[in-house]
A = this chain, B = another copy of it.
């Protein structure tokens, strides 16, 4: 059920089989599988998963290719609720490993916040990432286009960019490298650094050799209407016309609650086995937090795998149930 400040009290003495942090595609899929495995679960969601911002999911098997990400999330939340899973809107502040259980402290409610502590045997970290967007004075101007034709994922949206005039918005020299796989879809690439870092001579030469333009003047604003970006106006008043944009400025990981647990990482991502288990035997990581490609269908699969492994673990400890009425009594 949906937990609120009013009814969550009764869950504070319960030890859940698994608490899932994050109610995006991975977390919801995990929750659906957990509940169908007769395990008790709680999803704690801070809201606005990365897929919430996707205007159209073009590559998710089973859904029409213009389905908004939020429709998938709402369907998943309804599905999970129909299986009697608990769902709480809140922000996880701390996870303490108590040995057999985790104590998970949540900030619930933006005003007059309370800080309930929930307990579980297993933890699934499914809180994902969020893309860093170009920092402009008026961020609403960025939000007007991000997720429409100002994309953040080459795998998801490269197809939409085929042979289009494309702006690549980067935050570091490393992310300029995205231009080269992007050229698979379109060679008409203009790289925008906003002058935020120094571009090496080597990279300048490489861009020049490929014919890609480099613009270092800060961006004043994106131009366009009806969520269709048509170019950028620079600080010097000049305009660069574009048909598409790809933002490649890195991501923020929603994982501060994991910091004290010293899990094995590869860069910013958590290392897991094939079932999603991290270096901690009772913590699983799924979706964008783990090593792998960041795709909705992959996160959904990750959720199924992690829930299955947790079920196997718990089932093996509890052993098989007997049909009591049929037992032959010892003579």
Point out residues on A near B: beta carbons under 8 Å. Answer: 25, 28-29, 32-33, 35-38, 58-65, 67, 72, 75-76, 79, 82-83, 155, 158-159, 162, 179-181, 183-185, 187-189, 208-213, 274, 292-293, 295, 297-298, 300-305, 308, 311, 315, 318, 320-328
Closest to A182 in B: B320
Check if A324 sits within 8 Å of B187, measured CB to CB: yes
Bound together, the chains give a CA A328 to CA B33 distance in angstroms of: 57
Bound together, the chains give a CA A161 to CA B82 distance in angstroms of: 17
Closest to A213 in B: B326
Check if B301 sits within 8 Å of A297, measured CB to CB: yes
- A322 cross-chain contacts in B, Cβ below 8 A: 183, 187, 209-211
Check if B323 sits within 8 Å of A211, measured CB to CB: yes
- A61 cross-chain contacts in B, Cβ below 8 A: 25, 28-29, 32, 72, 75-76, 79, 300, 303
Query: Contacts A187-B324, A295-B304, A320-B210 known; A62 to B75 CB distance under 8 Å?
Result: yes
Query: Contacts A38-B162, A61-B25, A162-B38 known; A211 to B308 CB distance under 8 Å?
Result: no
Check if A38 sits within 8 Å of B187, measured CB to CB: no
Check if A185 sits within 8 Å of B38, measured CB to CB: yes
Closest to A58 in B: B36
Check if B298 sits within 8 Å of A38, measured CB to CB: no
Bound together, the chains give a CA A75 to CA B300 distance in angstroms of: 18
CB < 8 Å: which of B72, B293, B301 contacts A62?
Answer: B72
Check if A320 sits within 8 Å of B183, measured CB to CB: yes
Closest to A206 in B: B320
Check if A187 sits within 8 Å of B301, measured CB to CB: no
CB < 8 Å: which of B36, B72, B300, B325 contacts A159?
Answer: B36
Query: Contacts A187-B324, A323-B210 known; A82 to B60 CB distance under 8 Å?
Result: no
Query: Contacts A211-B327, A298-B304, A301-B297 known; A187 to B321 CB distance under 8 Å?
Result: yes
Query: Contacts A183-B321, A323-B210, A323-B212 known; A59 to B75 CB distance under 8 Å?
Result: no
Query: Contacts A158-B36, A211-B324, A320-B183 known; A76 to B62 CB distance under 8 Å?
Result: yes
Check if A75 sits within 8 Å of B58, measured CB to CB: no
